[in-house]
Amino acid sequence: MFEFATLLAAESEEMPSVLAVPLDELIIGLIAFLIVFGGLAKFVLPKIKVTLDERANLIEGGLERAGKAEEEAAAVLAEYQKQLAGAREEASAIRTAAQADRTAIIEEARNEARSAAAVVTASAEAAMAAERAQAVAALTRQVGELALTLADKVVGEALANDARVAATVDSFIADLERAAAN
Amino acid sequence: MAFGVVASGGPECHLFSGCGFPAPGAEIFQFDAVLSFTIGGLAFNISKVTILLFLAVVVILGFFGYAFRKPKLVPRGAQNVGELGYLFIRDGIVRETIGKGGDKFIPFLFSFFFLVWILNFWGVVPGAQLPVTSIFAIPVTFAIIVYVTWVPLGIYKQGFVGFFKNIMFPPGVPKAMYILLTPIELISNFLVRPFTHAVRLFANMFAGHLLLATFSVAAFYLLSFSVIGILGSAASFSLAVLLTGFEAFIQALQAYIFTLLAAVYIGSALHAEH
């Protein structure tokens, strides 16, 4: 930079200093800048800004869409897994219920068989009791008649129509019945 | 403009020809007006500087106008390159320093980066070979534009008192320190800041251009039928080529630094440092 000092010294001779700032150069420089700035700011750069913004939006939109698709896929998978688990649960519940049903059905059948047997037994017993009663009644009557016949043969024909005889026979039969009942 | 400088030394001016080394100086930054006119008493000179300046305007508007004429969602060709530039400003500078709230300053900083870069870039373009930003008035203009943007912006966003309070009384400092700190902050933010903003760019481009010119002139001057002449000339030429590549890097870097600083200033105006 020793040249610089020489230049500054040389300035006083005939040439203007290199550090001179003439007003016309300032104005021309300003005009040049304003043309560049005005042209770029008004006509050129807004276009590229719009394009760059558009591109950024496009890329961001694409990423967003991909993210959304991924989310959807995950949701579908979760739903599917949930359904699968539900189906499994349902199957096991059905199996358990079937098991219970089977036990219940067997139990019911057993009960039915048991009660049917009881009914048969009861009716048989009732029939037997009725027959026995019938047999007892018939036997009682026949015994009465036999006794009467026997008494008739012992006492004689005359006593046959006597009312006292009839009452005696009746009380005898009643005694027999009481005895039978006991 | 190396050729012009060589010519100033004369086409026969070589080592051992009784001619001193015609070191390039301030004259390589002075250009004759090809057209002069006066508007409202102010004389305007249209020179190489002005022409390259407006050529840069045409290149920038032409390229980006073409690249973004019908932007597609799937970019191809020029749009790809243009988008690279746009995203570099948006993600590399604006969102890095200001945050997402700074998006409305993208066109402003975008204009600065590419204008400064192309103006710097003329320094290594054959035929142009002048970094327009090595003309002090140009970086000064740009620094002033940045200055009159961020200062009113800060006042608008933080209020007049709040803005100056935030700058002059940085929080988290012992009260007594303000005696020292407040004048420093005031001077560094409002006086030094715009000055260094302009000078950093100017000085880098100025020095780089001078360096290239010196080695180019030296390569021509040393070229003579002697060992020292041939070796010196070859070395100078190699250095000139090497430095041209280095300059191309510096040009991009300085454009980036200028824009980054502008973004930092705007960011500090939008929200005070806590």
Q: What is the ipTM for the molecules in this complex?
A: 0.91
Question: How many angstroms separate the CA of residue B135 from the nearest CA in chain A?
Answer: 7
The set of residues, in sequence order, having a beta carbon less than 8 Å from that of B119 and lying 6+ positions away, is B52, B53, B56, B131, B132, B133, B138
A17 within a domain of the structure (yes/no): no
A11 within a domain of the structure (yes/no): no
Picking from B274, B271, B256, the residue whose alpha carbon sits closest to that of residue B99 is B271
| CA pair distance A51, B82, nearest whole angstrom | 12
CA B175 to chain centre: 40
Give this prediction's pTM: 0.72
| CA pair distance B6, B117, nearest whole angstrom | 27
pLDDT tens track for A39-73: 999 999 999 999 999 999 999 999 999 999 999 99
| CA pair distance A33, A2, nearest whole angstrom | 32
Indicate yes or no: CB of A30 within 8 angstroms of CB of B145: yes
**In the predicted model, what is the mean pLDDT of residues B4-31?**
75
Q: With contacts defined as CB-CB under 8 Å, which chain A residues touch B144?
A: 26
| CA pair distance B210, B212, nearest whole angstrom | 5
pLDDT tens track for B221-251: 888 888 888 999 999 999 999 999 999 999 9
**Contact criterion met (CB below 8 Å) for B65 and A44:** yes
Q: Name the band, by pLDDT with cuts 50, 70 and 90, for residue A168.
A: confident
Torsion-angle region of B172 (φ positive above 0: left; ψ -120 to 50: alpha; else: beta): left
Query: Is the CB of residue A53 less than 8 Å away from at least one CB of chain B?
Result: no
Number of domains in chain A: 1
A47 within a domain of the structure (yes/no): yes
SS3 A11: coil
Q: With contacts defined as CB-CB under 8 Å, which chain B residues touch A56?
A: none
A1 within a domain of the structure (yes/no): no
A45 within a domain of the structure (yes/no): yes
Domain hosting residue A153, numbered range: 22-181
pLDDT tens track for B91-110: 999 999 999 889 999 999 99
Query: Is the CB of residue A57 less than 8 Å away from at least one CB of chain B?
Result: no
A7 within a domain of the structure (yes/no): no
